[in-house]
Structure 1
Amino acid sequence: MTVSITGRSDTEAAQPKQLRSRRWQRGRIMRRAPWWIAVVLMLIGCLIWIYPFLWMISASLKSTIEIFSAGLQLIPEEWRFSNYAEAWDEANFGRYLINTIIVTVVTVIVVVVRCSMAGYVLGRFAFRGRKAVMGVLIATIFVPVGYTIIPVVDITMRLGLLNSLTGMIIALSGGAQVASILLYAGYFHGVPKELEEAAIMDGAGFWAVFSKVMWPLARPVTATVTLLTFLGTWNAFFLPLVFTLSRPDLRTVSVGMMAFVSERSTDWAGMAAAATISLLPIVALFIVLQRQFVEGIAGAVKQ
């Protein structure tokens, strides 16, 4: 042990430094404590949110008896992958999935084209009656879908398209789609006018300006509208049910779930397997478009 000039040993001189280091570490922990608490709470919330989805996947691999006897247990005692094969073949769910893909894809295309053009006109041009049109569009948000089902079915029946996928597509894509139109209108309204004026100076007409200049710029909004329309159409039940009452072969996946319910029993395992299959395209699409979805919502709200 050495002694310093002041008469204190090296150990005694190092004690204040160690004390300051401990205080600094303790203060750092206290400052980061709210952050760790927030992380823990968010993890708990995520687990609570995702647990029903995990339970549904687990139920799709169990027998109907085990679903009720196992309670909240996620790991099956006996893995029954045959539930997926039975749901796909015996319940004709493969056909329902094809019908849903056709209806959803065509509906998304029609809605994106129609809403982008309507949003462009409402967002970029000032014309007489524009406020009235916007007011009517916003008012339709408060009209329940059930109130429009009768005129929609009547019009489709008069066109001879009631029991067909074409009629279903027209009914699903022919709504007001107010949210999609407003998203496009808000985005186009904030685009600098210089871009449009430069295209006009180069000789571009109305359609060329929209298709080659404005619409490509609205890619985030298009991704948002695509995702919202895909979700709404894929999960639609009321309209597809009415349009397929006399044509079970035209059912979509949401209506096809009724195939697992009989008068005396319900195939819960098969229904869980079918629900898992039907959710996979939605999850995949959201993973692909999640970044554009957030940018589209944020950009339209900011404008």
Structure 2
Amino acid sequence: MTAATRTGVTWRARLFRRPSPGQVVTVVLLLVLGGLWIYPFAWLVSASLKSSPEIFGRGLDLLPEQPVWENYARAWTEVGFATYFVNTLVITVGTVLLVVVRSALAGYVLGRYDFAGKKLLIGVFLVTFFLPEGYTIIPITQLTDQLSLLNTHAGVILGLGAGGQIASTLLYAGYFRRLPKELEETARLDGAGHFTIFFRVMLPLAWPITATVVILTFLYAWNVYLLPLVFTLSEPGLRTLAVGMTVFVGERGTDWSGMAAAAVISLIPVIAVFVVLQRKFVDSIAGAVKQ
């Protein structure tokens, strides 16, 4: 029997061998937990295809009697979620770009350079990390109003992305600190300046951290409610998807089926971004654990 034949027999034996009781119990538990984890999303999709009375009349049943695709059409056109979607996309992309550039620059300085007051600055960052959003919304609103940006996309982007962004900054600082100094020294010998070294050498190497920051910032900016609500009170046309959900709540009742359809619409970009960047996200987390 050749080595290749023995290897094939071994793999077939492992593949078709009878599982142990412990393995069966583990698989069953994982399937149950997976079902419990995915059920709320499945129920949301199911509710988006039902009428409002059917949502409560059918209980936990996931299969609608007759799919009501008009819920999506109503949410997208009649309620104005097409406009809210564009607003959210513009604000989220702008916030992500602002946070990545700011956090990467600040993290590069903190991770690669020593200067007076560095530890104190990091300490201040850590203290502000625990401040709830409600404590800072008033000064942010006043400052944005003084800049005449209160009811604009730019105002919301600055309000969301121009804060401390402590977690993102420290992620970049920790990553840049571990990179060898020879990279910068070689670039300087080639005549590169500080910004050239950062944007053409250091930032591309930090792609796993950038993917993590993009995912976390995208989730935050896409789903945030309080600041866009305050900034667009007098401009309903600038509402985001999260704020637009309140349209389905009226004085005489709530359009639950329309709200479910709108929620599904708002979840699609989030899932798409995570699927595209999940590998880099996992790699960055794994690298942090190894360190």
Shift of 1:44: 1.2
Structure 1 stretches of 4+ moved >6 Å: none
Please give the secondary structure, in 2, of the residue aligned with 1:148: helix
Is 1:187 aligned with 2:175? yes
Distance 1:223 1:122 in 2: 20
Of the candidates 87, 97, 100, which is equivalent to residue 109 of structure 1?
A: 97
Aligned residue for 2:11? none
Distance 1:37 1:99 in 2: 48
Distance 2:31 2:116 in 1: 52
Aligned residue for 1:68? 56
Is 1:35 aligned with 2:12? no
Of the candidates 221, 244, 251, which is equivalent to residue 209 of structure 2?
A: 221
Please give the secondary structure, in 2, of the residue aligned with 1:62: coil
Shift of 1:116: 0.5
Shift of 1:38: 2.1
Shift of 1:298: 2.5
Aligned residue for 2:40? 52
1:47-104 per-position Cα deviation (integer Å, ceiling 9, x unaligned): 1011000000000000000000000000000110010000011110110000000000
8 Å contact kept, 1:224–1:293:
yes
Which runs of 5 or more structure 2 residues have no equivalent in the other structure? 1-13
Is 1:141 aligned with 2:129? yes
- Computing the radius of gyration from Cα coordinates, the structure with the larger value is 1
Distance 2:211 2:40 in 1: 27
Distance 2:76 2:200 in 1: 43
Please give the secondary structure, in 2, of the residue aligned with 1:203: coil
Aligned residue for 2:229? 241
Q: In structure 2, give the amino acid aligned to 1:187.
A: Y
Residues 300 and 182 of structure 1, relative CA distance in 2, 3 Å threshold: farther
Shift of 1:36: 3.2
Distance 1:128 1:36 in 2: 59
Shift of 1:40: 2.1
Within 5 A, what are the aligned runs for 1:90-239?
90-239=78-227
Within 5 A, what are the aligned runs for 1:215-294?
215-294=203-282
Structure 2-normalised TM-score? 0.92
Shift of 1:227: 0.5
1:3-35 per-position Cα deviation (integer Å, ceiling 9, x unaligned): xxxxxxxxxxxxxxxxxxxxxx9xx757x4333
Distance 1:297 1:137 in 2: 22
Give identity over the alignment, percent: 57
Which runs of 5 or more structure 1 residues have no equivalent in the other structure? 1-24
Distance 2:194 2:28 in 1: 54
Aligned residues: CA RMSD: 1.6
Shift of 1:244: 1.0
Please give the secondary structure, in 1, of the residue aligned with 2:68: coil
Structure 1-normalised TM-score? 0.88
Q: In structure 1, give the amino acid aligned to 2:221.
A: T
Q: In structure 2, give the amino acid aligned to 1:146.
A: G
Shift of 1:201: 2.0
Aligned residue for 1:12? none
